[in-house]
A = this chain, B = another copy of it.
């Protein structure tokens, strides 16, 4: 599959893009925001496309031309305000879904957040972020896309272990970004993950074993 990574310049995005680039069965198109971000990827021989999540659905549709799958791992980030959370994490995500539907790109993996499905468990300090992720996920579940919604716990920079735990109602937990990226790669063509949503934290199962239990 040729996979468009939306948010390729992000911390999960960079790891994921490299993994897909090295992968035997997949190729990758890194979607980035501006010319400066291109260099990181082009010097590794990775194809890039410039597109803006604040642009139109037609603009995003153009960017995903020739792709078979999309991974949405963009985020407005902690340093911007809730206005960008609404425009990027919610509306930007939904515009990407709408573009995918009209472009016929059926496979869509969303990187969400642990417990985004359970309003009661949202962290008070970043509640507006959870609202945005929650409604983006809801729209995705009601779309016609073959979605997978991955809700990772607290993200760590350390090396991945390749061992995870998945479930629909996991306690608070953490996971290295590398293992999130690896889980996305394996989910892409794993039938058990299609039309499914799950929490993801570090655990005891090999990634493929954990996904096959879904």
Contacts and interface: CB of A to CB of B under 8 A. Distances in A.
Interface of A: 56-57, 81-83, 85-87, 90-91, 94-95, 119-120, 127-128, 131-132, 134-135, 138-139, 142
A183 B86 CA distance: 30
Given A81-B81, A138-B139, A128 B86 contact: yes
Main secondary structure of the interface of A (DSSP, over half): helix
Contacts of A142: 142
Contact of A82 (B83, B120, B134): B83
A60 to B, nearest CB: 12
A56 B121 CA distance: 11
A202 to B, nearest CB: 30
How many chain copies does the complex carry? 2
A87 B131 contact: yes
Given A83-B82, A120-B56, A135 B128 contact: no
Contacts of A56: 119-120
Contacts of A90: 131, 135
A87 B86 CA distance: 11
Nearest to A135: B135
Nearest to A138: B139
A131 B127 CA distance: 17
A138 to B, nearest CB: 7
27 contacts: A56-B119, A57-B119, A81-B81, A81-B82, A81-B83, A82-B83, A82-B85, A82-B128, A83-B127, A86-B86, A86-B127, A86-B128, A86-B131, A86-B132, A87-B127, A87-B128, A87-B131, A90-B135, A91-B119, A91-B131, A91-B134, A94-B135, A95-B119, A135-B135, A135-B139, A138-B139, A142-B142
